Structure 1
Amino acid sequence: MIKVGIIGGSGYTAGELLRLLVHHPMVDIDFVFSTTNAGSSIAKQHPDLVGEIDLNFTNTINPDVHVVFLCLGHGRSRSFLENNTFSGITKVIDLGNDFRLAKDASFLGNDFTYGLPELHREKIKQADHIANPGCFATAIQLALLPLASQGKLNKAVHINATTGSTGAGVVPGSTTHFSWRDNNFSSYKVFTHQHLDEIEQSIKQKQQNFESPLFFIPNRGNFSKGIYATLYTQFDGTEEEALQLYRSFYKEAKFTIVSDYEINLKQVVNTNKCILHVTKKNGMLLITSVIDNLIKGASGQAIHNMNLMFGLEEKTGLELKASAF
């Protein structure tokens, strides 16, 4: 059994991580660390876990767990690792953005591997430290990597993607308050979103000469979970050639699927799937990509990485079905 510790256990990503790990057949949840909730019931903070888990939050760590998941929020993992020491057997999976870029990947003598399984499966298997990708970055990279793999990203890419309110985290803010978000729609960080750096980094690993602009418009949706992304760029080939390229690129992927039919968000919510749809219109290749931002875009992908790191079958604990109604 894999002994697991979770750091920062009160947020949405930690709650989803717990929901998945509590039924993972090869996992024993050793501790869930939270300074603000120490001593209180995990099920009180995460009511969907009532009857599923009887642990309390703690403010102490077990340094000898086999793997620790960092769910601390962006920019806080570095300071935690500087102030807390784990044993040589402990693998680290960071769900924040501290180590995603190559310039930040080396820390305290350890090298973090970027944890997108569809791009780095073999590296992840050998890694001890993983930087889990961002949610927008996951949906967008999976939509573009097949084109980059054949050097076909040579024109501007236009991206419009909408995320649910859970993408903003558990702490309420002016743009996540129900009265503001309900029956509302807005854009933010237009052309400047922080996930663009990791997207470009991954694309250049497949297409070194990539210099085309990525025009990314992120939107806030009035729903809780999921990301719906549409991307388009000029493409000289036929639609059939594009479909063949995408199917070939993802033929070994366990969770990324190329659909013959138009897709919608409900097909992926509460699953670890990314579903893609590809079509060509007026000389433009249109790619639609849908994921659950908290699962494929965060906690599910982290467990997928754990499975690879420990030599488990990739789908272990992640065979989840969506509800279409």
Structure 2
Amino acid sequence: MIKVGIVGGAGYTAGELLRILICHPEVDITCIQSTSNAGNAVSSVHTDLLGDTELSFVADLDTSVVDVIFLCMGHGKSVEFLTENTIPAHIKIVDLSHDYRLKRDGNDFIYGLPELNREEIKKSTKIANPGCFATAIQFALLPLASAKALNEVHVNAITGSTGAGQKPTATSHFSWRNSNVSVYKAFAHQHLGEIKQSLSQLQEGFSEAVNFIPVRGNFTRGIMATAYAETDLSEEEVIKLYKTYYKDHPFVIVSDVNPHLKQVVNTNKGIVYVEKHDGKVLIISMIDNLIKGASGQAVQNMNLMFGLEETTGLRLKSVGF
């Protein structure tokens, strides 16, 4: 059994992680750290887990009882934690923050998008889990980049309120968010860096604009991204390109019909749909921001790192209605 520790166990991503790992056949959750909730029952914070676990939060991570740790803290906190704490070399790390996603001197984390870096993830001990918008948008664009056929692209993507985290803010509380939509961080979202980094990995020298308009949605979870770009490829060629790229990736489905968001909510799936309009290709990509966009992807990375079947513990059913 893989002994799992979670640091920052009280937030949305940690809650989703616990829901998945409690049912994972190869995992034993041994330590859930939360400074603000130390001593409290996990089910007192993640109330849907009442009856599923008797674990309580602890103040400090005990590295003697873990094989892998998931860092589920706010951006900037993972660097701080790893600077202040010595983690034995045999313990694997999956970081769900933004802190290690961009390549730089001294950063030995592998960018954890299995549909891009599966073989590198298998050999790594440190994974930087991708961002939620970044995952959905990369699913839309990676096949074109792999064919060196990606031009300037325009992206509009809408996300549920859970993408803003558990702490209430002026734009996430119910009375503001309900029956409302708004644009934020237009052309300047923090996930653009990792998106462009991945596109350049496949299409060397890629320097075209990725024009990204993020939208706050009036629902709790899920991301739907629509992207379009000019292409000389026919619709049949583009569809074949996408199906070929994703044929060995179990969680990305290239749909033959226009999909809807409920097909991915509560699952580790990504659904992609492609069609051609005059000289432009339109790609629709959707994921659950908390699962494939965060905690499910983190478990998928753990599976790969420990030599398990990639889908272990992640065959989750969508809501349907």
Q: TM (normalized to structure 1)?
A: 0.97
1:69 and 2:66 equivalent? no
Q: Contact between 1:63 and 1:85, CA under 8 Å: does it hold in 2?
A: no
Query: Equivalent of 2:313, from 308, 312, 317?
Result: 317
Q: Which amino acid aligns with 1:131?
A: A
What's the CA shift for 1:271? 0.2
What's the CA shift for 1:93? 0.3
What's the CA shift for 1:72? 0.6
Paired position in structure 2 for 1:225: 221
What's the CA shift for 1:48? 1.1
Paired position in structure 1 for 2:243: 247
Q: Which amino acid aligns with 1:295?
A: I
Paired position in structure 2 for 1:186: 182
1:115-153 C-alpha deviation (Å, 9 max, x unpaired):
000000000000000000000000001110000001101
What's the CA shift for 1:323? 2.1
Q: Contact between 1:63 and 1:87, CA under 8 Å: does it hold in 2?
A: yes
Tell me how far apart the structure 1 counterparts of residues 319 and 23 of structure 2 sit (CA, whole Å): 19
Tell me how far apart the structure 2 counterparts of residues 177 and 114 of structure 1 sit (CA, whole Å): 32
Q: Which amino acid aligns with 1:68?
A: I
Tell me how far apart the structure 2 counterparts of residues 189 and 56 of structure 1 sit (CA, whole Å): 38
Pairing of 1:151-300 with structure 2 (within 5 A): 151-154=148-151, 156-300=152-296
Paired position in structure 2 for 1:79: 80
Tell me how far apart the structure 2 counterparts of residues 204 and 120 of structure 1 sit (CA, whole Å): 13
What's the CA shift for 1:88? 2.1
Paired position in structure 2 for 1:301: 297
1:136 and 2:137 equivalent? no
What's the CA shift for 1:239? 0.5
Q: Which runs of 5+ in 1 are unaligned?
A: none
Tell me how far apart the structure 2 counterparts of residues 73 and 24 of structure 1 sit (CA, whole Å): 25
1:103 and 2:99 equivalent? no
What's the CA shift for 1:283? 1.4
1:48 and 2:37 equivalent? no
What's the CA shift for 1:70? 0.1
Q: Percent identity?
A: 59
Q: Which amino acid aligns with 2:242?
A: Y
SS at match of 1:298: helix
Tell me how far apart the structure 1 counterparts of residues 12 and 205 of structure 2 sit (CA, whole Å): 38
Tell me how far apart the structure 2 counterparts of residues 282 and 189 of structure 1 sit (CA, whole Å): 30
SS at match of 1:99: coil
Paired position in structure 1 for 2:111: 114
Aligned-pair Cα RMSD in Å: 0.8
Q: Which amino acid aligns with 1:26?
A: E
1:195-240 C-alpha deviation (Å, 9 max, x unpaired):
0000000000000121111110000000000001000000111101
Tell me how far apart the structure 1 counterparts of residues 71 and 215 of structure 2 sit (CA, whole Å): 26
What's the CA shift for 1:278? 0.2
Tell me how far apart the structure 2 counterparts of residues 162 and 122 of structure 1 sit (CA, whole Å): 31
Tell me how far apart the structure 1 counterparts of residues 78 and 61 of structure 2 sit (CA, whole Å): 15
Tell me how far apart the structure 2 counterparts of residues 102 and 89 of structure 1 sit (CA, whole Å): 23
Q: Contact between 1:152 and 1:235, CA under 8 Å: does it hold in 2?
A: yes
SS at match of 1:30: strand
SS at match of 1:124: helix
Q: Contact between 1:295 and 1:301, CA under 8 Å: does it hold in 2?
A: yes
The runs of at least 4 consecutive aligned structure 1 residues that moved more than 4 Å come to none
